Structure 1
Amino acid sequence: MLYRLEIENFYSIRDLQVLDLRVPKNVADFPERFSEIFPGSEERVAKAIALFGPNGSGKSTVLRALAFIGWFLRESFQYQGPSLPCERFNDAGSADRLIRLAVELGSPLDLSGSPGTDAKIATAENVGTFRYELHLQPRDGAIRSVSHEALRLKRRGQGKWQRVFERSGDRAVLGSKTFPLAGFSQVIDKIRENASVVATLALFDHPASKVISTATGAIFGNILIDRIDASDQATVHYLAQNPDVVVELNRELQRIDLGVEGVHIVQTANGPAALFRHQGLHLDMPWSLESHGTRSFIRTFPLILLALQRGGIAIIDELDQSIHPLVLPEIVRWFYDPRRNPLGAQLWMSCHSASLLDDLAKEEVVFCDKDDRGRSQVYSLMDVGAVRRTDNLYKKYLGGVYGAIPQIG
């Protein structure tokens, strides 16, 4: 479970923003909504995190930071662009200032890649927290080099951070017992200044790097880093290749979309096409004539399903786009349900539907706001004083009590 995110000089976030979502120990247990950070941990974090705020306030920036970290760890070695696919804050003072990103999350600590049992994973020595740090150096409008990259761990989340690996600028990469580098000296020399240690070593079968890279593959989202968005076509092709997902999709469509009996994929001269069966209609409807809301839901559904099946993180920007407000809490509830979410997947989402606040606890709510100089601030509702469990979050948010609302006029 991811519980902490730090962002500085990244898109609309200029100054360091720290989002620490650990639920205080004195808060009563809310088991369907909170999860242990790692098995046996006393610290908890929400299974669903929802970001609210005006247009352009920084919600997408927060999600983009998470997506970028996963992309960098997994794919940066193969990237051939002239500059890394991210941006620093757009003012003169930030032009050559470091971009700083960091995440902390709970996880099994064994990076050997050897098969393990649940009993082994649950032992005191094999669970805890990781902290990943990444500093990028902008120069002349481009972001081409890493000045610092490090992964650290705490066994059982206690004590000081211990190095897994660390790399600073042109210095040699330092490993550890958890991240041994014996036999990989020639590969280390091939690490480019704009690529991750993990992304590079994983291609050369470094065991620990392969484990980390595989883990980042369980981040699913609609925030694209370096690819062209062809979401409609890509979704139909994905459904054509994964009939089991179509079965799951039809089960949900019949529950939440009035009149849609199901979708099926047919092959045409131009490739796969999606057709919708509607109650009372003579012919199936093509994708292009289906409602925008239904198509939006179908584009999002595989990402959420994959996260739930693999125990990953679903990062969904504007989850409420064209989706009925009554459907939103239903999707969030999937992450509460231990039958649908047996591996502890987590949802990070942005939305504008303030009515969802009626269905959320304060530990699940994050606000983004922007000042008159274009700088985003990010804060949890837990950081706002005197918020009671019984408060009407929807009413108070729209009343301006928590900030992060549009200023009209």
Structure 2
Amino acid sequence: GYFERMLRKYRFKNFFSFLEETEVSLTVSSHVPDAYSIAKDDRGQRVSKVLAVLGANASGKTNVLKPVVFVHWFVSHSFQLQPDAPIPLQPHAEAMDQPSEFETEFCLDDEVWRYRVVLTTKRVLEESLHRKTSSQFSYVFVRKWSQASKGYEFKQKKDFGLKAAEVIDARQNASVLSIAAQYGVDIATKLGHFEIASNIDFAGRMVNDSNYIGRLGAYYHKNPDHRKHMEALLRRWDLGFHGVEFEEVIPNPEKPEEKAIMMYGVHKGRTGPFRLGFRQESSGTVALFSLLAKLLPVLRKGGMAIIDELESDLHPLMLEPVLDLFFNERTNPHNAQLLFTCHAAEVLKHLHKCQVLLVEKNAHCESEAWRLDSVKGVRVDDNLYAKYLAGAYSAVPEFH
């Protein structure tokens, strides 16, 4: 087999609290023993299905995930910006006048790709896509801003085939890939379909508004397969939970054509089943419903879930069954990946040291990140949980 779609690594510089170049890698060396949480293809490439990000409050944990969300948006949707709109980019506070840089390396349909972009809020300065052929990368397209001509130098390989290349000068705030997808370029369309589900955007964690439960209900109502999977998991995880029922209602009698879906949790009582409106359910049950609405589509099709505060409103013992959804071939047939931040150090009991990224902010308000297996003296048989809590790896809150 091969990797249908997996993120291998990414680098970024001058973005939110990260000033210096930072690399986050999900590739796994041959020294790490085989495990269900590590995907392996026929060529011996090994990529982790999970990466946990740990660190103190305000260390930059969420910011280390934002580059993936930003690049995915930029590649897929930046064409939707008005041509003169600023690019929604947040450089580090001390380098606001400097460009930000991003590079991602990923597998898609048995090929390895590398995408790079350097930009300011005003325009793209450099952008390129490379494809790995044999042992090296060769360009698919390269775009560079020329200050002298106030336009782009652009070269592309034949198989990219963007016939309307002149539109690139007019769209300085959009990626070549999002432009090319509008013109039916196959490679651009294919790369735009790399599935990412997240509870953050590049501004931060999304806040659930008052219509959130209604949207959840509509999602499960429209996706009966996901609903069945969700119900089976919650029956296994949640004592007394029996299933979900839906009811179509008309909130405003003056507009009978506008219908809404009401969702009820069905529970087993002493005298038989009873229903609870979803706003009456526990925060833990609602958190699981919400989380599964993000995870199940990615598990079914492949791609990536990026979740800030995975354990939010969940019992610490729920972390293991949620991770198991990604570790199990039956529930994760396409090697979907999970990147998440977490405060619950218990997660270290379920992961190899190569699957943990530690984040810390220095005295100059600059975040730094490093993989736990890069820390000298961390042994495979170490109790990572106990040592992390004891402060052996840094990245824990200090109380004075």
TM-score of the aligned structures, taking structure 2 as reference length: 0.89
Secondary structure of residue in 2 paired with 1:172: strand
2:197 pairs with 1:220: yes
Secondary structure of residue in 1 paired with 2:156: coil
Residue number among 139, 142, 151 corresponding to 1:163 in the alignment: 139
Residues 187 and 201 of structure 1 are in contact (CA less than 8 Å); yes or no, is this contact kept in structure 2?
no
User: Whose strand fraction is larger, Structure 1's or Structure 2's?
Assistant: 2
Aligned to 2:257: none
Change in 2 beyond 3 A, CA 1:290/1:376: same
Aligned to 2:129: 151
Aligned to 2:325: 334
Aligned to 2:148: none
2:264 pairs with 1:275: yes
Residues 85 and 173 of structure 2 are in contact (CA less than 8 Å); yes or no, is this contact kept in structure 1?
no
User: Hey, what's the Cα distance between the residues in 1 that align with 2:228 and 2:154?
Assistant: 47
Residue number among 100, 113, 129 corresponding to 2:112 in the alignment: 129
Give the letter for the 1:79 counterpart: L
2:46 pairs with 1:67: no
Residue number among 74, 90, 115 corresponding to 2:93 in the alignment: 90
Aligned to 2:183: 204
2:16 pairs with 1:33: no
Give the letter for the 1:87 counterpart: Q
Aligned to 1:44: 46
Give the letter for the 1:51 counterpart: V
Residues 13 and 376 of structure 1 are in contact (CA less than 8 Å); yes or no, is this contact kept in structure 2?
yes
Aligned to 1:266: 247
Q: C-alpha displacement at 1:34, in angstroms?
A: 1.2
Change in 2 beyond 3 A, CA 1:279/1:7: same
User: Hey, what's the Cα distance between the residues in 1 that align with 2:318 and 2:42?
Assistant: 33
Residue number among 336, 348, 351 corresponding to 2:339 in the alignment: 348
Q: C-alpha displacement at 1:76, in angstroms?
A: 0.6
What is the CA RMSD across the aligned residues, in angstroms? 1.9
2:230 pairs with 1:235: no
Secondary structure of residue in 2 paired with 1:167: strand
The percent identity for this pair of structures is 31
Tell which deviates more after alignment, 195-204 or 163-172. Answer: 163-172
Secondary structure of residue in 2 paired with 1:238: helix
Deviations for 1:82-118, whole angstroms, at most 9, x for unmatched residues? Answer: 4322311112xx011111111112233xxxxxxxxxx
Give the letter for the 2:90 counterpart: E
Deviations for 1:25-81, whole angstroms, at most 9, x for unmatched residues? Answer: 233323x12113xx3233312111111111111111121111111111111111249
Q: C-alpha displacement at 1:144, in angstroms?
A: 2.4
Give the letter for the 1:279 counterpart: K
Change in 2 beyond 3 A, CA 1:373/1:186: closer
Q: C-alpha displacement at 1:21, in angstroms?
A: 3.1
Aligned to 1:18: 23
Aligned to 1:179: 160
TM-score of the aligned structures, taking structure 1 as reference length: 0.87
User: Hey, what's the Cα distance between the residues in 2 that align with 1:240 and 1:176?
Assistant: 45
Q: C-alpha displacement at 1:225, in angstroms?
A: 4.3
Q: C-alpha displacement at 1:224, in angstroms?
A: 2.5
Secondary structure of residue in 2 paired with 1:356: helix
Deviations for 1:215-258, whole angstroms, at most 9, x for unmatched residues? Answer: 2xx11111124887544333222122222221111011101112
Deviations for 1:106-159, whole angstroms, at most 9, x for unmatched residues? Answer: 233xxxxxxxxxxxxxxxxxx34211111111xxxxx12111111112135x23
2:78 pairs with 1:102: no
Deviations for 1:177-214, whole angstroms, at most 9, x for unmatched residues? Answer: 44223x33354454x11111111111121222111112
Give the letter for the 1:272 counterpart: I
Secondary structure of residue in 2 paired with 1:130: strand
Q: C-alpha displacement at 1:359, in angstroms?
A: 1.2
Alignment of 1:346-385 (within 5 A): 346-385=337-376
Residues 27 and 46 of structure 2 are in contact (CA less than 8 Å); yes or no, is this contact kept in structure 1?
yes
Q: C-alpha displacement at 1:290, in angstroms?
A: 0.8
Q: C-alpha displacement at 1:305, in angstroms?
A: 0.8
Secondary structure of residue in 2 paired with 1:129: strand
Give the letter for the 2:67 counterpart: A
Give the letter for the 2:261 counterpart: P
User: Hey, what's the Cα distance between the residues in 2 that align with 1:209 and 1:146?
Assistant: 17
Change in 2 beyond 3 A, CA 1:379/1:178: farther
Q: C-alpha displacement at 1:274, in angstroms?
A: 1.3
User: Hey, what's the Cα distance between the residues in 1 that align with 2:207 and 2:394?
Assistant: 34
Aligned to 1:313: 304
